[in-house]
Structures are given as structure tokens and as C-alpha cells.
Amino acid sequence: MLLQSDRKPSVRVLPILGEACMGKTTVTQLVFNHERVKVYFELKLWVHVSHEFNIERITASIIESIEGSPFHSGNLNTLQTRLEKLLQGTRYLLVLDDYWRESWHDWDKLKLPLLKGAGGSKIIVTTL
């Protein structure tokens, strides 16, 4: 599923669900570092979400992973616009590790700029 190129130009989300300490992150790390995955994706990004969900911090962390340096802005619109430009037309793999938030509204806001990636892009979410 991870290496399949989708016919539709969309980004797919692959959840990994399970109890705490089951090895979700370990399995995801093995997949993330696999040679075929390295070749298939132009960008590979890993962001730890944690219990304290902060969309600005998460978005800034994704930008920092791409650019290699911090991008400072407290404005969500500025952060999302920057992230959209960075992902536009790029096939990427993003891991959102330890995602606990149950609000669909927060998820919808977070994923908005992530949908600008090229077809075949994937988001792996590890969660309870």
C-alpha cells in the first residue's frame, strides 16, 4: 500500500492503531528506513505529535524537517501557505507519530496543506 502509486492525484493516510507500547513506532521506523521507501519518496518526514496537540507547532515542525532550519511564525495561515508551497508536486512520506487528538476539526485543519503533495504521497499516523 505504501509504495503503490495512486491513480488519483491524492494523498493517502495510513493509520497504525494499537495499545500503548505495542511497537507501532518501531514498525513504522523499520518501514520508514527501508531502502525501497527511501528510493520511492522524494521527501521523508517524521514529526512527533504528542499528547499536547498544537497545530502551529506540528506544521512548523514539518516545515523545519523539509528546510533543515526553523521557520518562525505564530500565524497558522502563514505556516500552512509555506508548507503548501514546499509540498506542491512532491511525492512525500510523512509520519505523524503518537497522534492522540480525537477532534476531526483539528485533523481537517492539519491535513489541509498536506493535500498539495503529488499523487503517491502518504501519511502514516500512529495512534491509540
Domain membership of residue 2 (yes or no) is no
pLDDT of residue 1: 78
Its domain, for residue 20, covers: 12-127
Q: Kindly report the CATH number assigned to the domain that includes residue 109.
A: 3.40.50.300
How far apart CA 82 and CA 9 sit, in angstroms, is 21
24 secondary structure, DSSP code: H
Please give the model's pTM, rounded to 2 decimal places.
0.91
In the chain, count of helices (H) and strands (E)?
A: 5, 4
**Chain-centroid distance, C-alpha 65:** 11
Domain membership of residue 6 (yes or no) is no
Question: What amino acid occupies position 2?
Answer: L
Domain membership of residue 53 (yes or no) is yes
pLDDT of residue 96: 95
SS3 97: strand
Domain membership of residue 101 (yes or no) is yes
How far apart CA 119 and CA 79 sit, in angstroms, is 22
Judge residue 40's burial from the number of C-beta atoms within 10 Å of its C-beta, 0-12 exposed, 13-18 middle, 19 or more buried: middle
pLDDT of residue 47: 95
**What's the domain count of the chain?**
1
Domain membership of residue 45 (yes or no) is yes
Domain membership of residue 65 (yes or no) is yes
Angle CA 27–32–34, to nearest 5? 95
Domain membership of residue 3 (yes or no) is no
Task: Return per-residue pLDDT of the chain as tens, 128 residues.
Answer: 788 766 666 788 999 998 888 899 999 999 999 999 999 999 999 999 988 889 999 999 999 999 999 888 889 999 999 999 999 999 999 999 998 877 788 889 999 999 988 888 999 999 87
Q: Are 21 and 32 in contact (CB under 8 A)?
A: no
Domain membership of residue 59 (yes or no) is yes
Instruction: Give the tens place of pLDDT for each residue, 30-65.
Output: 999 999 999 999 999 999 998 888 999 999 999 999
pLDDT of residue 8: 64
How far apart CA 21 and CA 105 sit, in angstroms, is 27
